[in-house]
Structure 1
Amino acid sequence: MVYCKWAATALTLLTVSSVGVEAVPAKYKPDPDPIKLKEKRALAPVTLTIGPATKTIGLTTRFPTLGTASLSLSLSPIPVSSTTKSSTLPVYTLPTTTPIVYTTPGYTTPGGYGGYTTPGTTTTSKTTTRTTTSSTKTSATPTYTPVVGANNTCYNRLKIETLQRTDPDQFNMLLLAWQKVQATPDSDPFSHYQLAGIHGAPFITWQMGPGSYDYTRGYCTHGSALFTTWHRPYLLALEQALFHAAMSIASTFTGTALTQYLAAAGRVRLPYWDWADPTTQSYLPPITMATTVTVIRPDSFGNPVSAVINNPLFAYNFLSASSIAPFGSPFNAHMSTRRYPDGSWNDRSYLASSNMQGGFSSRVTSTYTAFLSGSYNLFSNRIEGVHDGVHGATGGGGNMGYVAYSSFDPLFWLHHCNVDRLTAMFQATQPSLFVTPASAVGTFARPVPPNTIDDQTTDLFPFRRADGSWYKSSHLNPVSTIWSMKYGYPEVPCSYQGKNPADLDTFTTGQVNTLYGKGRTPIPGTVIRDWNVRLLIDQAEIAGGFDIYVYGGTRPSDPYNDPYGKGYIGSLSSMSMGSVDQYKQSRIRFVDVSLNSYLKDYGYYGSDPYKITSYLTQDLYYTIIANGKPCYFQDLYTAKYAVYSRDIYDDGKPDVLPYYSSDYYYHVNVTEKYVGGIKSIDEIQYPFKVDGTREIPWAENTTSIKT
């Protein structure tokens, strides 16, 4: 692992393009020292890691050339047995009480929810000690609140623009509830501070007892086959807090307003931001960019009154200097979250919104083709790649660009709610596909040694179910399990409970085609050619965060200051973990950037493949930015790009998805002359990691090489 080497003239445009490599040596000779290239060239055969198995094969090609409401709320804790202890994880005592069911118009605050106080702790003699360079911390075994979401009727989570327009009462209660959760003391596990902190900083336990923890990372499972499943109970935890906060606030209205707002509070669910919706075209929802918002809230007599409050969807304001004291720079110096901030930490959500719109066309196509994936893991990886690009476009040097700090921005939750929605839609349309074993990724509560496997039975720490067991991916399949969590989506609606799964498949498939398949040709028997650039890198090669950008037709005059400008098609984004000095776990990350819309814009889509490849050879440009500075392919060992195409068969039926009808065709002639471009099929099928071993990060069919 090495830092990317910075050139002395950082403002000089150094970009690999189809017309050559600018400002780099004509003959590329990579520095072999960091990877001991000469020694590794002598190694044969090569061991490939394929999920939980390994396979040894011989390869002819060795290595490449390289006014606030004062109401409060509490989630009732469930105590841990005081007599049974565990050396690694706390022992959970099953609940003995019957769950509270809310009804309207009346509402009775259940025991434990009235004050929203911190669940108590059961202190034992068993402690765990964390030693750092500056301090030693001891944790006691806490009590628990299961993550179960709302506990009334199943309601659909709605697109935020739709929610604001069609159900203003629910939207009003959502704003009041989110404001309340954000104002809840940091010590409360269901405060915005602690819920956001599960994802990363301040790297503390969440409702878990003594154990061995990795204090360099959060609980999240980025880069893992569990990426989509882990975030489902995570979202549910915030939804649970919002629901109960809304019910608590609504119960203080009086008269007819009590009935009205209790009913609205009962419908409160997390909304989503559909960044691939052809109507809104990836722009940030306008409500998320407004600094204040007008709400209806109860006065001291329970009467509804209008008030202007700080918009809880715009930013999260930390409660005190001690809240940010554990954070790294620059986040330990700012009391509010920001998107794409300038040097003075002024919010530039308008720029984040513009960045998002720049990659809209490719994002829609990439989202659509993700539904054509032949495995759940491949779908999850593809959606995570699109998801990463959203973080990159909206983060800049702000919260959304860092794994450890992104979840403090309210936009994070709308963004991930959409990821969960797309996951549910895939489950509905591909009910036979789900998580398969793959190499594990270490997290805060699960440091993993080499050759550890993630699968459907892996515990999704730190989330517990109603019976006290840890959530596992297996608990989240089939898709109907979301309805038992009291939510659905317009494309996977609560109204389909009890219906034949085949009917849901038909309905959801039609929604996928309608929303994201705008480029389909509704002619039965049509075969179209799908064009993509695959970008890949071992994420451990560059410290901090980095992006690999693809431009076509033209490019920004200064891509380092305007990376999402003219000509931007798509990118591979890898967020910083917590600082620009931190390396990630070694793992091949890749993203497929669709070229279809770009080729249509320039009149080449549907042309003869040889004409297209000739054009792409001359017209695609690639730029790498690491931690805000230029980085170059010749200084990297694992960064590669390849152009491929596949045939897609479409029978034109609105309730049937197209499918791939050919193998991958890698057009090596487009890239072989350029640094970073693949020169042999091995480089893309069996890419190198930083330690010189190879990894197969996705399932490939038989692949053809086209020149």
Structure 2
Amino acid sequence: MVSCNWATTALLALLSVSSTGVHAAPKPYKADPDQIKEKRQIQTLASDIQVSRVPITLATIGTIGPTFTRVPTLNTNTLPTLGTLSATRIPVTLQTLQTAPSSTLPVYTPPTTPPYGYTPPGTTTTSRTTTTSSRTSSSATPIYTPVTGANTTCYNRLKIDVLQKSDPDQFNMFVLAWQKIQTSPDSDPFSHYQLSGIHGAPFIPWQMGPGSYDYSRGYCTHGSALFTTWHRPYLLALEQALFHAAVAIANQFTPTSVRTQYLNAAGRVRLPYWDWSDPVTQSYLPPITMQQTVTVTRPDGSGNPVTATIANPLFAYNFLSSSSIAPFGAPWNSRFSTRRYPDSSWNDHSNLASSAMQSGFSSRVTNTYNAFLSTTYNLFSNRVESIHDSIHGTVGGGGQMNYIAYSAFDPIFWLHHCNVDRLMAMFQATSPGLFVTPASAVGTFARPVPPNTIDDVNTDLFPFRRADGSWYKSSHLNPVSTIWGMRYGYPEVPCSYQTRTPAELDTFTTNQINKLYGGGRTLPGTSREWNVRLLIDQAEIPGGYDIYVYGGTRPQDPYSDPYGKGYIGSLSSMSMGSVDQYKQSRIRFVDISLNSYLKEYGYGEADPYKITDYIRRDLTYTIIANGKPCYFQDLYTAKYAVYSRDVYDSGKDDVLPYYTSDPYYHTNVTEGYPGGIKSLEEILYPVKVDGTREVPWPEVNSTRIQG
């Protein structure tokens, strides 16, 4: 069987699907007849034919002068008609499901302690359990708790390493609170089990009534323009649970002076973040997340403070019983704890995850910096999500973090996503005029979407409700000052700036971005930024897969050591939870900076002719799908392109660099190899699994005008 034959077979079936509602490329584009001929020939292959594939290694094919293909200025008259950008809404109270997968999840019983049990005016709260399914169903909207975060003053979320050292009392209460949440009954909607389950498995409603649900996916909005905004109230829900748990624990301490000390610390409890682009820690996993135990001060039976060593809630989450994991698919229905880089005995090897993360630091910090140069919010969100995706794969190593349906059970998921939210807040502070623009919708658990549905700032962010009982929308999360109303900030968007002007915040945050991530700036002047763009229709391969880029010295066997020496970056597509499950058709792409790689090998200041010749000869690409080798020549939509772009840097700490040219795609680097683009159409109008092409990237001809 061909390594990717299962993908090709499925692709050929998809090619016969009607493309109604999908916009074709403008008139100037003509399909490549050789490509069509090749696909027809593949279709005639029997599934049992043995085909040998050789991993792609770019060989020297002589010296060819670089081709500088400038992206032409778009004529909007030739673009496909998008039509009215209206959204089709799916009510969440349509009808009781006729059939639903069985589940052993305990019946939902609302806790009686604060902050639970909030009932909005006029809401019926009676509930019953169905007799046809073990899932809980309500005769009306169930009792629910609005997601409002902490109810004290605004405090900054801190980097986990800084929190542990600078505020040991808050860190102590944070750890105790998370332990409490992790040991809360599965039926508690604010337990670690149910909060993590919102993201994916066990695919059950969270504080929602009867509705038309999609039991193949969770509530999360991966691959959507809402990726960053949806996760904000999601993180806030956990922070709210941590805060109230910390206060409850602090109230148990005696005497009064000790209780006051820890109540004050509990009031400061906020979810910390892991900055995987920090130049100090350089992408290593926070040490506390790799320790199996942690020492805390907790109240004994009489309330007296005692020192104790407990299982570290930042290291792993241990499911409470066999019924907790029974609804999961194999092999997760036999895994009683979360792991990173697990061996065959399911032992954790977080040290391997930490080493793998560090190997990609150089390009990761540049990619993070470049995200802030995005000229649209949607582009920023996509760039951050692409970095985020690769971290899931790098940290998981076959553990829960590799799988969308199970990743949120690993505690490091929350520290990881808190950093994504931090980057979002920083971008909002420095680009206050940019926010979510309408884009193709992505279906979720509570929102199955028909073709041509649009996501925008008014799309409901299920299942999170605000204090007034309405659903969160992205519009509620802009401008950035809204986070202070949720009682949190970040060191780069601090609570102390609540009384400052947006311009003052912009200046401060920009200064912090340059300081943190702009270490390689050329001061002042224009420099050239080099990138590899990897892209694929995520629906072409089922399960999870990665496309890796290597340069210079590379691992001898990238299939067993994908993050070894020479690793530059990767495009990662996490599995939904099963190796045979396909994702919704959508072009996903990632831009990987080559600047640090070129500098390391002596080409940082070389002229473009030498750089393109070197890249063409040196870069190699490897695809691993569900743990097995895969190849560009077996795929239809997977492409890579090399492009450069001029960037001007004023050298001022309070001003970000900005683009002064459109991208130049160097087709001579890629045209001779499988997967490499041969023409601009392949990158401007990337092909999808059904043979149609998407509209161009919205940022192709966007150049920031610096006033």
TM-score by length of 1: 0.85
Instruction: Letter of the 1:203 partner, please give it.
Output: F
Q: 1:123 to 1:622 in 2, by over 3 A?
A: same
Q: 1:57 aligns with which of 14, 18, 27?
A: 27
Instruction: Letter of the 1:448 partner, please give it.
Output: V
Distance 1:117 1:179 in 2: 22
Tell me what 1:257 maps to.
258
Tell me what 2:94 maps to.
88
Q: State the 4+ residue runs in structure 1 displaced beyond 4 angstroms.
A: 30-33, 45-49, 61-64, 114-121, 127-130, 135-138
Structure 1 residue 332 corresponds to structure 2 residue 349: no
Distance 1:577 1:6 in 2: 17
Distance 2:14 2:316 in 1: 47
Q: Which runs of 5+ in 2 are unaligned?
A: 39-90, 97-110
Tell me what 2:204 maps to.
204
Does the 8 Å CA contact 1:366/1:592 hold for their aligned counterparts?
Answer: yes
Distance 1:283 1:293 in 2: 19
Tell me what 2:508 maps to.
507
Structure 1 residue 455 corresponds to structure 2 residue 456: yes
Tell me what 2:670 maps to.
671
Distance 2:237 2:33 in 1: 46
Structure 1 residue 405 corresponds to structure 2 residue 383: no
Tell me what 1:152 maps to.
152
Tell me what 1:594 maps to.
593
Tell me what 2:76 maps to.
none
Following superposition, the deviation at residue 698 of structure 1 comes to: 2.8
Following superposition, the deviation at residue 55 of structure 1 comes to: 7.2
Tell me what 1:93 maps to.
none
Distance 1:36 1:402 in 2: 24
Distance 1:87 1:170 in 2: 41
Following superposition, the deviation at residue 292 of structure 1 comes to: 0.1
Equivalent runs, 1:80-229 vs 2, <5 Å: 87-88=93-94, 112-113=112-113, 122-123=125-126, 137=135, 139-140=137-138, 141=140, 142-229=142-229
Tell me what 1:272 maps to.
273
Distance 1:322 1:560 in 2: 36
Q: 1:646 to 1:210 in 2, by over 3 A?
A: same
Tell me what 1:649 maps to.
648
Distance 1:694 1:295 in 2: 56
Distance 1:362 1:625 in 2: 20
SS of aligned partner of 2:5: coil
Deviations 1:160-207, CA, capped at 9 Å, x for gaps: 000001000000000000000000000000000000000000000000
Following superposition, the deviation at residue 399 of structure 1 comes to: 0.4
Q: 1:654 to 1:48 in 2, by over 3 A?
A: farther
Deviations 1:228-257, CA, capped at 9 Å, x for gaps: 000000000000000000000001111221
Distance 1:420 1:342 in 2: 32
SS of aligned partner of 1:684: helix
Following superposition, the deviation at residue 158 of structure 1 comes to: 0.1
Q: 1:374 to 1:571 in 2, by over 3 A?
A: same
Deviations 1:330-372, CA, capped at 9 Å, x for gaps: 2111110001111211111000000000100000000000000
Does the 8 Å CA contact 1:275/1:281 hold for their aligned counterparts?
Answer: yes
Distance 2:161 2:603 in 1: 35
Does the 8 Å CA contact 2:375/2:702 hold for their aligned counterparts?
Answer: no
Distance 1:181 1:121 in 2: 28
Distance 1:46 1:203 in 2: 30
Tell me what 2:637 maps to.
638
Following superposition, the deviation at residue 680 of structure 1 comes to: 0.7
Tell me what 1:34 maps to.
12
Distance 1:555 1:468 in 2: 54
TM-score by length of 2: 0.85
Equivalent runs, 1:416-431 vs 2, <5 Å: 416-431=417-432
Deviations 1:349-399, CA, capped at 9 Å, x for gaps: 000000000100000000000000000000000000000010010112100
Q: 1:211 to 1:270 in 2, by over 3 A?
A: same
Following superposition, the deviation at residue 312 of structure 1 comes to: 0.2
Following superposition, the deviation at residue 60 of structure 1 comes to: 3.6
Distance 2:393 2:204 in 1: 26
SS of aligned partner of 1:695: coil
Distance 2:92 2:299 in 1: 46
Following superposition, the deviation at residue 555 of structure 1 comes to: 1.7
The number of residues matched between the two structures is 628
SS of aligned partner of 2:428: helix
Tell me what 2:685 maps to.
686
Distance 1:403 1:190 in 2: 20
Equivalent runs, 1:275-424 vs 2, <5 Å: 275-424=276-425
Distance 1:559 1:546 in 2: 14
Instruction: Letter of the 1:489 partner, please give it.
Output: Y
Tell me what 1:473 maps to.
474
SS of aligned partner of 2:596: helix
RMSD across aligned C-alpha pairs, in angstroms? 2.7
Identity over the aligned pairs, expressed in percent? 74
Structure 1 residue 661 corresponds to structure 2 residue 660: yes
Does the 8 Å CA contact 1:46/1:57 hold for their aligned counterparts?
Answer: no
